[in-house]
Amino acid sequence: MQSRIDHLIDVDARFSRVRIAYAVGAIVVCLAVFARADGPMVWWIAIAFSAGFIVLVRLHGRVLRSLERHRIYLSLAASDRARIERDWLAIPAQTDIEAPADHPFAADLDLLGERSVHRLIDTSATVQGSRRLAEWLLETDPNPERTADRSSLVRALIPLGPFRNRLRLLGAVVTGDPHTRWHGDALLGWLESRRDAPGLVRWIVILGLLALVDASLFGIWLSGLVASPVGAAPTPWWLASLVVYAVLYVSVIRRAGHLFEEAEHLYSEIERFRPIMLFLERFRFAENSPLRALCVPFKSEPPPSALLRRIGLLAAAAGTQRSELVRFVLNVLMPWDLAFAHLLARYKDRIRGLLPGWLDAWRTLEAACSLASFGTLNPDTVFAEISADRNTGAASPLLRAEALGHPLISEPPRIRNDFRLDGTGDLALITGSNMSGKSTFLRTVGVNLAIAFAGGPVVARTLKARPARIFTCINVSDSVNDGISYFYAEVKRLRALLDELNRDHAYPLLFLVDEIFRGTNNRERLIGSRAFLRTLSRGRGAGLVSTHDLELVTLEDEIAGLSNYHFRESIEDGRMVFDYRLRLGPCPTTNALRIMEMEGLPTDEMYGSSRQA
């Protein structure tokens, strides 16, 4: 790939030198002819040289476009490697998307942000495609039918690697920068903008007639058909009509300036957007592929690319993408800009009901391609089996996962664990030392469920789940501005969890609570935690709760659905080693004092040892 880019750079440099030499040679020849021949001969020679220069520019443009696409493709390949290696500095930044402050799980599961699931997965070329992926990941109400539809799209896209790469490349070409996303509002905004300028058609007709008169007078003057005194040049009557034409044209164009502003932005947008439509309408999907149904809007008659080509030609013909010299000549010959800008404004109605559908299908396709690329770049992922059963007492488990891992951690060193929740009322109480992996495991469960409900592949050997609402209480923080302490913020969050748990809903709640009531003293934390766990066990949900309070493990004898799990550490060569393996039963070890000692902080044991000495 790099050798091809180097070759194109060399060809580009040669074309640049040829263009300069051609332009200089054309000027020299025209000056030489002007010194020895009459005016008309110079005009014809200039026209011939101009035509040759246009051909040269078009050939050079092809080389530049090919060079641009090769560079973009190389950049996209580099970003894919960064995603595999979790090299966050090399992964393109995500669109500025924020979840609501009261979202039930977005902030706790790192779904959005600098080092987030969304940034890792998102390969969209458009702002809207990126937002659609975020919407899928952030959905709060389960919809197994919608999840199945998305999953079928992603499954169909995974084996279509060349299709996804081509679509992604064309999408990056839209902006010219694979790290910048295209915003479709420019095209949609054009549909809603003003349609025309008052009385424009009348002035186009008047100016057109004046241009015709002026062209006739110029032709007569150029051919020398008008008699003139011997030895005198023909009288340029065409100049008088040209002045009248120019005055009227300038006065009219001031009132229709918005049409040219539209065309200026529209041309580049359409010229970059049209290849995507052309690619999608020509690609042949399998007869029974869900992608075929999604891409129906691109298979209409006339094809989207044909309609966009006509609009693009009209926008280009308005003069905004041509050189100022060519634009000046065309508008002298006729009211070129006015006529084509008027036609462009009238063409809006042809696609007013079509363009939003094209953009919407493309956004959905981009979101599905992002999830498919995640599966391709992580071959250890699988698709979850999501049951459509609404019966919370169904025989199938609410969640059963084998070799479940966190998608934001590369493999290695990713550690996988098995886990299961049978149904509502089940509680997994997880104890363990500091840094042993409790919080990460809670996030692992939540993140994979969010991806599964979005229709994407999950990091697991198998994952089976029933539709469930997700609610988390992990990253609680205080607020100085609002005068809310950490403990009060946690209480408010847990109150919201109970409200959601008791809400009348078709699907159960799956909750994830980390370090319950950590913001208060030991005695009250223990009392509050016991009461809260008992309440959770009686609600319409199930979930995981982590704690440092080993006294809570005795609730396994009292609460039927509560099971104890733990993470542990070991001491090897004077340092703590964590294996991050989830095990049944309460944690047999603690490490807080050991960590304090290792960092040189005083503990009672240290003081006791000193006194004995």
Q: Give first-to-last CA distance, the chain, whole Å.
A: 72
The reply to whether 356 and 386 lie within a common domain is: no
Record the tokens describing residue 297, joined without a space. 């809007």
485-491: list long-range contacts, CB under 8 Å, 24+ apart: 485/519, 486/519, 487/517, 487/519, 487/520, 490/517, 490/518, 490/519
The pLDDT score that the predictor gives to residue 480 is 44
Q: Please report, as a single letter, which amino acid is at residue 555.
A: L
Reported residue count of the chain is: 613
- The confidence score (pLDDT) of residue 413 equals 85
Q: What pLDDT shows up at residue 302?
A: 82
**DSSP assignment, residue 547?**
E
d(CA 496, CA 100): 14
Instruction: State the pLDDT at residue 252.
Output: 74
Q: How far, in Å, CA of 92 to CA of 80, rounded? A: 10
Q: Is residue 124 part of a domain?
A: no
pLDDT for res 604: 67
Report the C-alpha dihedral over residues 192, 302, 132, 506, rounded to 10 degrees.
110
Shared domain check, 438 and 347: no
Q: Mark whether 347 and 446 lie in a shared domain.
A: no
Count of structural domains within the chain: 3
Is the same domain home to 29 and 59?
yes
Q: In this structure, what CATH number is given to the domain that contains residue 418?
A: 3.40.50.300
Judge if 340 and 404 occupy the same domain. Answer: no
* Domain that includes residue 12, residue range: 2-85
Same domain, 389 and 531: yes
607 and 547 within one domain: yes
Residues 6 or more apart whose CB falls under 8 angstroms from that of 526 comprise 549, 551, 552
Give the residue among 97, 90, 111 at the shortest CA–CA distance from 178. Answer: 90
**452 with 597, same domain?**
yes
Structural domain includes residue 282: yes
The pLDDT tens digits for 494-529 are 999 999 999 999 999 999 999 888 877 788 889 999
For the stretch 225-281, pLDDT in tens is 655 555 555 566 767 877 887 888 777 766 655 555 565 566 667 777 888 889 999
Residues 314, 396, single domain; the answer is: no
- Residue 146's pLDDT is 95
306 to each of 203, 281, 299, 319, 350, how far by Cα in Å? 30, 10, 11, 21, 12
Q: What is the pLDDT of residue 40?
A: 66
Is 290 inside a domain boundary?
yes
Q: Which long-range contacts (CB under 8 A, 24 or more apart) does 198-202 make?
A: 198/255, 200/252, 200/255, 200/256, 200/338, 200/342, 201/342
Residues of 565-593 as b/e, b for ≥16 C-beta within 10 angstroms? bbbbbeeeeeebebebebeeebbebbbee
Structural contact between residues 69 and 169, judged by C-beta atoms closer than 8 angstroms: yes
Q: How many CB atoms lie within 10 A of CB 87?
A: 13
Got the DSSP string for 264-284?
A: HHHHHHHHHHHHHHHHHHH--
The rounded Cα 558 to chain-centroid distance in angstroms is 49
With respect to residue 373, please indicate whether it lies within any of the assigned structural domains. Answer: no
- Residue 413 within any structural domain of the chain: yes
pLDDT along the chain (613 residues), means of 10: 78 84 83 69 77 86 82 87 93 85 92 94 92 96 94 96 92 78 75 63 82 79 60 65 80 63 64 85 91 90 83 66 62 74 73 84 95 96 85 71 95 91 94 88 97 97 96 76 70 93 93 87 88 93 92 93 90 78 86 68 58 41
- Among residues 44, 66, 85, the one where a domain terminates is 85
pLDDT for the residue numbered 497 = 95
Shared domain for 230 and 265, answered yes or no, is yes
Clarify whether residues 414 and 563 are in a common domain. Answer: yes
DSSP secondary structure string, 416-449?
A: -EEEEE-STT-EEEEEE-TTSSHHHHHHHHHHHH
